[in-house]
Amino acid sequence: MPEKKKVLVAVHRVARMDFPYLDKLADAGLEVTLNRGNGSYTPEEIERLIPDYFATIASGERYSAATLKKARNLRVIARWGVGYDSIDVDTATRQGIAVAIAAGSNHEAVADLTLSFMGGLANKLIYNRNRVISGAWKGEQRADMWRSTVGIVGLGRIGKAVARRCRGFDMRVLVHEIAPDMKAVRELGVELAPLDKVIAESDFLTLHVPSTPETRGMMNRKTFAQMKRGAFFINCARGEVVDEEALVEALTSGHLAGAGIDVFHREPMPTDAKLLSFDNVLLSPHAGAMTPIADQLAGERCVDTILAFARGESPGLPYIVNHEALTAKAAE
């Protein structure tokens, strides 16, 4: 009797929640192992575990070149989300390991968090809460969202979802996108503009770009200085696209009125991080995609992807990052 193909579910919170669609893996004859720890696997744990598995449902754990070279049975890393910067894609491709994403699963959830950041910052929620608690019962003028200007950097699924929400506030929506979907631009009624214009004219600047050599460090001392004095900055993209020291300087000087940040250079965030000292900064532990609907859609997408590979099929072009891996494996 052939040995069962094994699937590692590295997303630790799955073990504590009811995800019945994982039963589809067992029903197809696959053996499922859950991460029953309290967080992501360490690089050492992944390197030790991975040689035995046909597929992983991956969280934010790191798949290094050294780890992937030991993954003798691995055929697919199915990301519980759309980011894959924790995976050495070049090595995965050479090893014939497909890197798959759950495209279309969590963009609405991230857009919701983005608008929540906007509302929380404009309305000084932390500041006013602290004043009420301290007994300082006196209101102060706050910022408008209605009819303000929002700048969206990156008009992918998340950027489009943010733009739809902003139109409901009658906001002027400026967008910078290097490869714009012109149909979406027309339907959303947004204004395409160079990055410098988007940065300079926005009351709220929000990033929705991947971490690439072109985007890393795109928000730095120079670009923060180009923002309006009193503007708000939001990052629900990737920590690497922002120079955090420059952000702290812009907040300390009062040039920025506040920030909402879901992603960081170091995760978990150090307990002595300077961003923790501001009452006009809203922080979230890289949780933008963590809602019941987003979890369900991401999980279903990962399961369907793995089942397709188990049948010797492709899950579809939109879900595979490195199509060359399929060719590399077929050529063996």
Q: Which of 106, 109, 192 lies closest to 151, judged by CA?
A: 192
252 C-beta neighbours (distance < 10 Å), count: 12
The pair phi, psi for residue 276, each rounded to 5°, is -75, -10
Q: Tell me the two tokens of residue 255.
A: 């040039």
CB within 8 Å of 245: residues ≥ 6 apart = none
Catalytic residues: 238, 267, 286
Inter-axis angle of helices 125-134 and 107-122, nearest 10: 50
Question: What region, left, alpha or beta, does residue 213 occupy, with left being phi > 0 and alpha being psi -120 to 50 degrees?
Answer: alpha
Left if phi > 0, otherwise alpha if psi is -120 to 50, otherwise beta: which for 17? Answer: beta
Can you tell me the distance from the alpha carbon of 3 to that of 127, in angstroms, rounded to the nearest whole number? Answer: 59
219 DSSP β-pair partners: 242
> DSSP string of 221-243?
HHHHHHSPTTEEEEE-S-GGGB-
The C-alpha angle with vertex 242 and arms to 236 and 247, in degrees rounded to 5, equals 100
DSSP 138-157: --------TT-EEEEE--SH
Peptide bond into 268 cis (omega under 30): yes
